[in-house]
């Protein structure tokens, strides 16, 4: 088969080291020649942000962080950046915090140094999002890609174990789905493979001991790779299914991903043997599904959509709603019957096949 | 072990597709809004360059390409770019051609779109080199990183099979050495692993049938990854050894790499089990050395330094010359006796150990 692809590698520095965030930030701000830092950090991150930005020339701390970045919140942050004459944005927090910094960078062109405290991955992408009322607008712009990401796993220690595992499994779903997403290429697949390896090594350690740094480090590193791969590859079948289930029936994000993923892998794996072999290698398992199921068992991951709010009677409607958004490039043939069967098994908590 | 690293990902677009160079170049030049292309291509590449740049608004074709980019050659190319008011450089050729375009970009800031015709890898790095007399100066500058690389394996079909294999093994050495180079990090290692996989798949196919595109594609893709990984990770023990052997005794570049590599892998593999496991996985072999030796056997790679010009009596001198440049971070302990033993085995063509 001939190799043909286009891949845009996003230029970005990563500084990775536990307990090193303050030092790394100081080095970055000095190297950038910046002297008026606007710190973006929500109230719940205030103490942590103060600790890691204590050595910086801070001109303003902006703590109005709201999920999904509502436009008025973004406008106030932009006004604050201008009022305080900021020359760099340092975000400390999860996806919403990074997202707010991106909203400011989008219109001001200010560089971002991002310090993530969750496994959300937004820090590694050039995607921004804003909401106006109930409408979410997203876009891609080189200005919103953080110049540098400072990963310090000690900052994730306060993330509760349940949320950590859910967020880590979400990252894993990004990696697996990247294998057959519409824009996938071998580079995405190689990075996703490494992401699976890291998440498979890290997540069970986080679950076993949420205070142990090494599991946090592996998981954070894996989450970074999952974001890089997924941002380039785009949404595959798995994310299309979960998006419909979440949007139409208000199912919870992370458990839905955790439940659906093995069923998509069971469907696509045999139709995409090279991708399945990569996933298997990453897990150190005989095939991709065996590796995923072993990890899910170790994490006691949720099994059934019936347990998270889907009604049996909604399955046919869900299958019909998913059908038009199935990527034409999906490796396995997917009709409404295949979708119905997949959803029924996921609903029951049956073994994937 | 705690994970701590700094990684600079270089932002660059890759367009990969056999027979698609002309189309890809047209798309890039249009998207860049450029209207005065300076084509850089040596006389031996003239026909090929004319073919792939035929659809572009070419202001000038510059064909004075000389190995190692002598300063006067660079100066004349810079003057030509100014005289013709070029707004983009399109290089078509091997490492020397890309290098000349980089020399122009270094002082003019002109963007480069590189079309490599060998497996040299320079197109994926921000490293430039110039020679003045017998002195080579190299440096790192973001301006010299090509904006886009257009990989078209059909352009490598004229590369003779011997040179292809030698150049591919050189790329393989970049991948293997990246596993323990001084600045290595897990991202470099993941990319190098993918590079080994691709080169191991591609090189035997090139050797078996130099006109088959698929082997060329895998090899070109692997060479790209080897350059990305190596540019970030830096020179490890293998390259330090080969640099001394080449510089001090004028041994030929590619065969020296091919001969020395298994001996370095035999030395470092057991001391770096995680790296060795990655190499083994990439080869689909029990350990890294077994995989490398299988590939070398399929390629009938050279075995002995005595066959490429090293004298037995030079071994002690070589070991002493290498000792001071051994990276302190090398996984295996390396003293003058270890080096002497390694060189003797490589000289004899003995099995590595």
Residues of B in contact with A231 (CB under 8 A): none
Which of chain A's residues have a Cβ under 8 Å away from the Cβ of B12?
9, 11
A214/B3 CB distance under 8 A: yes
The B-side interface with A (CB below 8 A) comprises 1-18, 20, 153, 185-187, 190-191, 193-194, 198, 213-214, 217-218, 221, 225, 281
Of A11, A221, A281, the CB nearest to B10: A11
Picking from B3, B7, B14, the nearest residue to A7 by CB comes out as B14
Tokens of B5: 């690293």
Q: Tell me if B2 and A221 make a contact (CB, 8 A cut-off).
A: no
Domains of chain A with CATH codes: 13-156 (3.40.50.1970), 161-348 (1.20.1090.10)
Residue A10, min C-alpha distance to chain B (Å) = 4
- The pLDDT score that the predictor gives to residue B148 is 98
Q: Give which of B304, B118, B139, B284 is closest to B216, Cα–Cα.
A: B118
- Asked whether the beta carbons of residue B187 and residue A14 sit closer than 8 angstroms, the reply is yes
For B220, name the nearest residue in chain A, comparing CA atoms only.
A3
Distance from CA of B17 to the nearest CA of A (A): 4
Q: What distance in Å separates the CA atoms of residue A338 and residue B5, rounded to the nearest whole number? A: 45
CA distance A221 to chain B (A): 9
Give the separation between CA B107 and CA A237, rounded to whole angstroms.
48
Residue-by-residue DSSP string for B102-149: HHHHHHH---EEEEESSS--GGG--EEEEEETTEEEEEE-GGGS-SEE
Question: Cα distance from B213 to chain A (closest Cα, Å)?
Answer: 8
Global model pTM greater than 0.90: yes
Q: Is B297 exposed, middle or buried (0-12, 13-18, 19+ CB in 10 A)?
A: exposed
Alpha carbon distances (Å) from A170 to A208, A342, A346: 19, 19, 17
Interface A–B counts its CB contacts (< 8 A) at 103
H runs (alpha helix) in chain B: 21-32, 46-53, 71-83, 95-108, 161-178, 186-208, 213-233, 237-249, 253-268, 273-283, 288-299, 315-322, 336-348
CA distance A341 to chain B (A): 36
Residue B180, both tokens = 């323990």
Q: Using the beta-carbon criterion (under 8 Å), do A186 and B193 form an inter-chain contact? A: no
**Nearest residue of B to residue A219, measured between CA atoms:** B3
CA atoms within 13 A on the CB side of B97: 28
- What ipTM is given for this predicted complex? 0.92
Written as tens digits, the pLDDT of chain B (353 aa) is 689 999 999 999 999 999 999 999 999 999 999 999 999 999 999 999 999 999 999 999 999 999 989 999 999 999 999 999 999 999 999 999 999 999 999 999 999 999 999 998 999 999 999 999 888 899 999 999 999 999 999 999 989 998 899 889 999 999 999 999 999 999 999 999 999 999 999 999 999 999 999 999 999 999 999 999 999 999 999 999 999 999 999 998 888 999 999 999 999 999 999 999 999 999 999 999 999 999 999 999 999 999 999 999 999 999 999 999 999 999 999 999 999 999 999 999 999 98
Distance between CA A16 and CA A347 in Å, rounded?
40
For residues A280 and A82, what is the distance between their CA atoms, to the nearest angstrom? 50
Other residues' Cβ atoms within 10 Å of the Cβ of residue B189: 22
Q: What angle, rounded to 10 degrees, do the helices at B336-348 and B237-249 form?
A: 70
């Amino acid at each position: 088969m001939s190799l043909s692809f286009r891949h845009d590698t996003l230029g970005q520095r990563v500084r990775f080291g536990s307990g090193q965030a303050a030092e790394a930030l100081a080095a970055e701000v000095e190297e950038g020649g910046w002297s008026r830092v606007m710190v973006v950090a929500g109230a719940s991150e205030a103490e942590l942000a103060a600790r890691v930005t204590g050595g910086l020339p801070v001109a303003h701390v902006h703590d109005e962080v709201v999920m999904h970045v509502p436009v008025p919140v973004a406008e106030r942050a932009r006004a604050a950046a201008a009022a305080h004459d900021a020359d760099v944005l340092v975000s400390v927090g999860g996806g919403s915090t990074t997202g707010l910094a991106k909203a400011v960078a989008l219109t001001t062109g200010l560089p971002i140094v991002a310090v993530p405290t969750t496994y959300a991955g937004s820090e590694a992408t050039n995607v921004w999002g804003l909401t106006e009322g109930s409408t979410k607008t997203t876009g891609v712009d080189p200005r919103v890609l953080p110049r540098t990401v400072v990963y310090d796993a000690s900052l994730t220690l306060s993330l509760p174990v349940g949320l950590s595992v859910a967020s880590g499994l979400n990252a894993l779903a990004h990696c697996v789905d990247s294998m057959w997403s519409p824009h996938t290429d071998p580079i995405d697949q190689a990075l996703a493979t490494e992401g699976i390896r890291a998440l498979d090594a890290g997540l069970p350690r986080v679950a076993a001991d949420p205070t142990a740094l090494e599991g946090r480090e592996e998981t954070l590193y894996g989450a970074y790779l999952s974001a890089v791969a997924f941002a380039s590859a785009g949404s595959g079948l798995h994310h299309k299914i979960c998006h419909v289930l979440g949007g139409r029936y208000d199912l919870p994000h992370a458990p839905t991903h955790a439940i659906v993923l093995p069923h998509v892998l069971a469907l696509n794996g045999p139709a995409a043997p090279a991708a399945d072999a990569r996933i298997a290698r990453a897990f150190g398992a005989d095939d991709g599904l065996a590796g995923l199921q072993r990890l899910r068992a170790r994490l006691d991951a949720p099994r059934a959509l019936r347990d998270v709010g889907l009604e049996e009677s909604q399955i046919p409607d869900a299958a019909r709603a998913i059908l038009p958004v199935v990527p034409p490039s999906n490796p396995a043939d997917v009709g409404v019957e295949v979708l119905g069967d997949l959803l029924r098994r996921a609903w029951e908590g049956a073994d994937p096949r």
